[in-house]
Amino acid sequence: MAILGNTTLDVFPLCFGGNVFGWTVDEPTAFEILDAYAAAGGNFIDTADMYNSWLPDHPIGESEIMIGNWMKARGNRDKIILATKISSLPSRKGLSADNIAAATQECLDRLQTDYIDVLYAHRDDLETPMLETMTAFNELVTSGKVRYLGASNFSAERLQESLDVCAEHGLAPYSVLQNNYNLMNRKEYESDVRAVVAKAGIAHAPYYGLASGFLTGKYRPGVDVDSQRARGAAKMLDERGLAVLAALDEISATHNVPVAAVALAWLYAQPTIGAPIASARTVEQLNELLPMATLQLSEAEIASLTAASEI
């Protein structure tokens, strides 16, 4: 466990991504996975109001509903660090003050809780003045409905603008970032966003920690995988991708842990990372991720993976 950036939240090294709940995972299986995650010491769960709005005939906020039902059934809300996101749900788009207030209350209702530990702006809103957005978020913090604020899919420039506005007006700033970052996708974050995050003491909880499943090692040349993400992962089987898999295989064998755990351990070892986000559709898949929480890679192993991913 470690404190998340400049917050007081003590989180497990692996944040469980609830995007699969309602999409590829039904509620009974979700309960099994969350039970196994909690039994392993896991306490950091991520979801969003728009999971899974792309599916017809599914309730709005289905992932939140399942997580809320699980916490109620287990009576463990006080043991969970709960993160959710607003602004991308088709019926609740944007970061206007009115929308933030309404969307957050709806999240609280679905999650069956009276507070959210980390509330993210799921996507930036260029149409709403930054001051209006951050003032509305600040009101949620002062009211006790939200403990900390997060930004997701933000550019370095917009993240810095938000921090400047909050400093000028005495508002609660973003304390957590959630952008796309992994061994196969490094340039966007490392080029400029990371510097802003590091200077502000923000923690990064990156999504796509396993590059849409590619870094589990199950996607190989000539291997067919039955997965919703197979097509995207297969595109990474180029020279660089194969080099990364080779490095992962070698380190995985050395430590006798799954490839996925090695990929997440590399991510966790990077500057500014608070807890990578990864999901699982079964308890068996979750068990391939959990060893990352205790896996200590050597400097040479980290350097090997870094070098392979730069080809």
How far lies 17's CA from each of 62, 251, 307, in Å? 14, 25, 28
Paired tokens of 212: 């849409």
| Identified catalytic residue from 37, 51, 174, 219 | 51
Q: Measure the CA–CA gap between 122 and 50, rounded to whole angstroms.
A: 9
Of residues 273, 259, 200, 211, the one with CA closest to residue 238: 211
- The CA R_g of the chain, rounded to the nearest whole Å, is 19
Structure-token match 């009101």, residue found: 139
Decide: helix, strand or coil at residue 47: coil
Paired tokens of 178: 């959630």
Q: State yes or no: is 51 an active-site residue.
A: yes
Q: Is the dihedral of CA 246, 293, 111, 129 positive or negative?
A: negative
Alpha helix stretches (DSSP H) within the chain: 27-39, 62-74, 97-111, 130-143, 156-169, 187-188, 194-200, 230-234, 239-255, 259-268, 283-289, 299-308
Paired tokens of 58: 């599914």
Task: Please say whether the beta carbons of 261 and 287 come within 8 A.
Answer: no
Name the residues annotated as catalytic.
51
